[in-house]
Amino acid sequence: MRFVAAPAHTYVEPASQPQLAGSWRSNKPWIATALCAVLIFLALAIGTALTSRPITDEGLFADPAYTLATKGYMGSPALRDNAHLLRIEERTYWIFPLDPVLQAAWYRLFGVGLFAMRSLSICFGLLGLAALFTLVERLSKDSKIASLAVALTALDYFYMYGNASGRMDVMCAALGYAGLASYVALRERNLVLAVLVSHTLIVTSGITHPNGFLYFMGLVFLMLYCDRRRINLRHVALAAVPYAVGASLWGWYILQDPLAFLAQIKANASDGGRFQGLRNPLLGFVREITVRYASAYGFEAHSFGHEGPIYLKVLALCAYMAGIIGALSISALRRKTEVRVILSLITIWFIYLGIFDGQKAYYYLVHFIPMYAALLAVFVSWLLLNRKLNSKAVLLPLSLVVAIQVGGVAYKISLNSYKNIYQPAVEYLKQNARGSRLINANIAFQFGLGFPNNLVDDSHLNETADYFVIDNEVAQRLKNSRTGNPSTYRHVTDMLESCYEKVYDLKSVEIYTLRKNTHSICEPAEKNSTGTVNGPR
């Protein structure tokens, strides 16, 4: 059964124009291009996973997974001194549960470690590419467009780099796209099965990260767009089953300590002005451009430890904008089902994040990039197959954009921040901090130190530690507290001046050790109660 809301599309070449060379009409070159792109993606994602230093978020998300895999409960002992995360050392509620559960299972199979964590993301990245191909191919009825969309996504800078991170954004996106793809793939053959499978996958996306709601909205839109005359109450009831199951399982875990759940969720929800777009939606939409996209595409400072012409990133944004403008300005493209669906999804998601996401973090772009790439693929395919421009005029600029993105990832791999920044500090701690009562460091140091019981991530120095490690992320937290929480800033600086001495300073990592015979006089009288969840979520 065809989509009822829009006519099925076929490419119609004007009779007055000469036929394009047969190679562009064959599916084989396009599919071969996609396969090559996926292989490059794998190589660069693995290379990045092996050479990039771990970040705070990776340590935060690995801590409960490690505890679950090795001790059978989902606590985060390295955050035990965080005053706002009630009983965090026993149960973790401030992040959604599927990611640490899958991580724990992964660790049991392949061992605990930074690459193990990141390899799980890479696997989900492959799932996301497969889902994108299915989604675009079924919407467009054209494997050439789907292949080009996969190639452009696989070689996108943020998609490659995001897949090499232990954050759960790629997992959330892959499961969400799999939900959308399964619906369009199954709907004509078995609508009941399509509803059940797609909503089950959307539930898994939603219990991975709150941004799974993007895909819930997307699936509801697809169902109404494609099958509003076929959907009835039976389908709605069936769709509700996965949500009831997911809510029951999560609810069972929440009921083990509802007070801790409320406290932790409240602490995370209040972090970073998440919902400021609700108070001023117009400002939220403006900040989407001036913060999220500006920071991602080279209009702000370099990320720590990197240099180079980051302004070249804007070329990728220009290419995506060309795809959007082309799809909107050409009437033949505006009428196509895939264009209407993709533009609608982008609009819905942009409005939602504009209002409900106050942090405007660049890594949420992983949800949009496949859609941008798909629109660009539609536009490029139309130009090539209808000979609107010489093929070189289309492919050379596109190849340049791809080469810059691939080169950017390759350059970051060459910097090897894991070996040159992270590992030397880890080795110093291994050699000098053995037997320490307490090591206060970025939670990301757990990977190198083997998840020791005496490591705590407490940049407020609520408890006197034998060693206090300040890397770039901890330094940024302290810098933020200088204006946001002056009393905490004064407390930390006073402690460093009176009770600690610097023993290590290399490539923006400083290590301080407690001076001899000062432990008793430097122990705080009472713990500072200003702890919050560190970093964006």
Alpha-carbon Rg of the chain, whole angstroms? 25
Q: What pLDDT shows up at residue 271? A: 65
User: Could you tell me which of 118, 124, 123 has the C-alpha nearest to residue 57?
Assistant: 118
| DSSP letter (8 states) at residue 222 | H
Residues of the chain with pLDDT under 70: 1-25, 81, 83, 271-277, 300-308, 518-521, 523-537
Q: What is the pLDDT of residue 273?
A: 57
Asked whether the beta carbons of 125 and 43 are under 8 A apart, the reply is: no
246: which 2 tokens? 């997911």
C-alpha–C-alpha distance, residues 50 and 405, integer Å: 19
Spatial CA neighbour of 169 closest among 87, 61, 70, 261: 61
Q: What is the pLDDT of residue 521?
A: 63
- The reported pLDDT for the residue numbered 81 is 63
Torsion, Cα of 171, 175, 176, 179 (10° steps): 180
pLDDT of residue 278: 73
Distance, in Å, from the CA atom of 206 to the CA atom of 212, rounded to the nearest integer, reads 4
pLDDT at residue 531 in the model: 44
pTM: 0.91
**Ramachandran angles phi, psi of 533, nearest 5°:** -65, 125
Q: What's the confidence (pLDDT) of residue 530? A: 43
CA atoms of 267 and 83, how far apart (whole Å): 10
Distance in angstroms (rounded) separating the CA atoms of residues 96 and 212 = 11
In which element (H, E) is residue 509 found? strand 509-514
From first CA to last CA, the distance across the chain in angstroms is 42
Q: Report pLDDT for 519.
A: 60
Can you tell me the distance from the alpha carbon of 222 to that of 214, in angstroms, rounded to the nearest whole number?
Answer: 12
Distances (CA, A) of 479 to 243, 390, 470, 492: 42, 53, 12, 11
Crossing angle of helices 114-140 and 27-51, rounded to 10°: 160
509-514/467-470 β-pairing: antiparallel
Measure the CA angle with vertex 45, ends 41 and 47; round to 5°: 120
